[in-house]
Amino acid sequence: MQTKKAKEQISNLVDSLISEGDLVLKTIWVENVSPVINIQRVDLALFKKWQSSCHLLSHILGNQADPWRKTLEEDSANSLAVAISIQGTLKAIREALDKDFLMRYEELIHADIFSDFLEMASYLLTEGYKDAAAVIIGSVLEEHIRKLCAKTKPEISIVSNGRPKKADTLNSELASVGVLTKLDQKNITAWLDLRNKSAHGKYTEYTKQQVELLLQSVQDFLTRVPA
pLDDT in tens, 107-143: 444 433 444 678 878 888 887 888 888 888 888 898 8
Both 160 and 199 in a single domain?
A: yes
Both 22 and 121 in a single domain?
A: no
- The distance of Cα 67 from the centroid of its chain, to the nearest Å, equals 23
The confidence score (pLDDT) of residue 38 equals 85
Both 14 and 37 in a single domain?
A: yes
In the three-class reduction of DSSP (H, G, I as helix; E, B as strand; rest coil), residue 179 is classed as: coil
Q: Give the pLDDT mean for 134-157.
A: 88
Amino acid (1-letter code) at residue 67 = P
The residue out of 69, 87, 107 marking a domain boundary is: 107
Both 65 and 158 in a single domain?
A: no
Both 123 and 213 in a single domain?
A: yes
The confidence score (pLDDT) of residue 108 equals 44
C-alpha 84/C-alpha 99 separation (Å) is 23
Both 101 and 138 in a single domain?
A: no
Both 29 and 121 in a single domain?
A: no
**7-38 pLDDT per residue, tens:** 777 888 889 899 989 999 999 999 887 888 88
Q: Quick one: pLDDT band at residue 145, thresholds 50, 70, 90?
A: very high
124 phi, psi to nearest 5 deg:
-60, -40
The residue out of 107, 134, 167 marking a domain boundary is: 107
**37-95 pLDDT per residue, tens:** 888 999 988 888 888 788 778 877 767 777 888 888 776 788 898 999 999 999 998 88
Determine, yes or no, domain membership for 180. Answer: yes
Q: Quick one: pLDDT band at residue 5, thresholds 50, 70, 90?
A: low
Determine, yes or no, domain membership for 19. Answer: yes
Q: Quick one: pLDDT band at residue 102, thresholds 50, 70, 90?
A: low
Determine, yes or no, domain membership for 21. Answer: yes
Both 85 and 122 in a single domain?
A: no
Both 169 and 93 in a single domain?
A: no
Evaluate if pTM is beyond 0.75.
no
Determine, yes or no, domain membership for 165. Answer: yes
Determine, yes or no, domain membership for 112. Answer: no
The residue out of 54, 75, 107 marking a domain boundary is: 107
Both 40 and 67 in a single domain?
A: yes
Determine, yes or no, domain membership for 148. Answer: yes
Residues 149/157, Cβ–Cβ less than 8 Å:
yes
Where do the H-state alpha helices sit in 99-157? 117-126, 130-151
Determine, yes or no, domain membership for 87. Answer: yes
C-alpha 100/C-alpha 77 separation (Å) is 33
In the three-class reduction of DSSP (H, G, I as helix; E, B as strand; rest coil), residue 115 is classed as: coil
Both 37 and 101 in a single domain?
A: yes
| More confident: 40 or 162 | 40
Domain that holds residue 154: 117-224
Instruction: Tell me the chain's radius of gyration from C-alpha atoms.
Output: 20
The confidence score (pLDDT) of residue 201 equals 74
Total domain count, the chain: 2
Amino acid (1-letter code) at residue 126 = T
Q: Give the pLDDT mean for 141-167.
A: 87
Both 87 and 142 in a single domain?
A: no
Determine, yes or no, domain membership for 217. Answer: yes
Q: How far is CA 84 from CA 1, 148, 156, 200, in A?
A: 33, 41, 43, 19
Say which CATH number the domain at 144 has: 1.20.120
Q: Quick one: pLDDT band at residue 217, thresholds 50, 70, 90?
A: very high
